[in-house]
Amino acid sequence: MSAAPGFAPSWPAPANVRAWVTERGSPGRYGSLNLATHVGDDPAAVSENRTRLRAALDLPAEPRWLTQVHGTHVVDLDREAPGAADGAVTARPGVVCAVLTADCLPVLLCDRAGRRVGVAHAGWRGLSSGVLEAAIAAFGDAPQQVVAWLGPAIGQAAYEVGTDVRDAFVMRRPAAAGRFTPNGRGRWQADLYGLARDALAAAGVGCVHGGGFCTYTEAERFFSHRREAPCGRMATLIWLDSAGSRSS
């Protein structure tokens, strides 16, 4: 899978669980691998990028692209068509779940037995409203059997927010106050990774890997809406390999 700019997550997923995170591919507002159709890029270029991605990763099908709305709806792709949603789950081999991000947090999910996979798009709005809890609920397994991986998102040192954002979390979970550090401008530095870990823990998920990226500062690798809007989007993909012969 090295032909596609990006990397496979490092997490204890079963051998039949496949996952990949794309990178920007090259400098420029849309790089060489923008995968989003809604950010002002040439539609033909996006279509070509998606075709190249599918070929490079030998994907079993076209990813089920969502219309992300910063909400909490998670589609079960075994029962619903993709649409306006911020997460997807499947138990069917060959169905590729995907989210697009450029500062928001992509979260991969699988069960320890390799029977089900999913992905969620967790920006601050969705995260504060419960998108990760919704993803775990849609997953259907006991939360203790779920493994999560946190992908590239904006880091706390770069993520300045207002009191309205902090309040949205604290009103729902008072302990979230500890994930916000005051700065000298009367605003706050928000820890998306910490907030996601807290949400997953509250949902019963104890096995969480990944984190530690910063889309804003790692400009050579990642798109960042906050740094360069309008800009491209990376994709975080997960699927079950029916052959079960390769690890992610």
Q: Where residue 111 sits, what CATH number does that domain have?
A: 3.60.140.10
**1 in a domain, yes or no?**
no
pLDDT digits (tens, 9 = 90+) for 33-57: 999 999 999 999 999 999 999 999 9
- C-alpha span between 243 and 3 (Å, rounded): 21
**202 in a domain, yes or no?**
yes
Which pLDDT score is estimated for 53?
A: 97
**111 in a domain, yes or no?**
yes
Which pLDDT score is estimated for 242?
A: 80
Q: What is the mean pLDDT of residues 207-228?
A: 97
pLDDT of residue 244 exceeding 70 = no
Per DSSP, the residues of 25-92 read -SSSTTTTT---SSSS--HHHHHHHHHHHHHHHT-SS--B--B--SS---EETTTS---B-SEEEE-S
**8 in a domain, yes or no?**
no
pLDDT digits (tens, 9 = 90+) for 228-237: 999 999 999 9
pLDDT digits (tens, 9 = 90+) for 70-104: 999 999 999 999 999 999 999 999 999 999 999 99
C-alpha torsion angle, residues 248, 131, 104, 88 (rounded to 10)? 40
Which pLDDT score is estimated for 4?
A: 79
- Share above pLDDT 70 across residues of the chain, in percent, rounded to a whole number: 96
Q: What's the chain's average pLDDT?
A: 95
**248 in a domain, yes or no?**
no
Which pLDDT score is estimated for 3?
A: 62
pLDDT of residue 141 exceeding 90 = no
**6 in a domain, yes or no?**
no
Which pLDDT score is estimated for 72?
A: 97
Which pLDDT score is estimated for 1?
A: 43
The pTM score is: 0.95
- C-alpha span between 194 and 206 (Å, rounded): 13
pLDDT digits (tens, 9 = 90+) for 158-209: 999 999 999 999 999 999 999 999 999 999 999 999 999 999 999 999 999 9
Residue range of the domain that includes 193: 14-240
Which pLDDT score is estimated for 246?
A: 40
Which pLDDT score is estimated for 140?
A: 86
Number of domains the chain contains: 1
Contact 125, 155 (CB under 8 A): no
Q: Which of 151, 207, 205, 202 is nearest to 179 (CA)?
A: 202
**35 in a domain, yes or no?**
yes
**94 in a domain, yes or no?**
yes
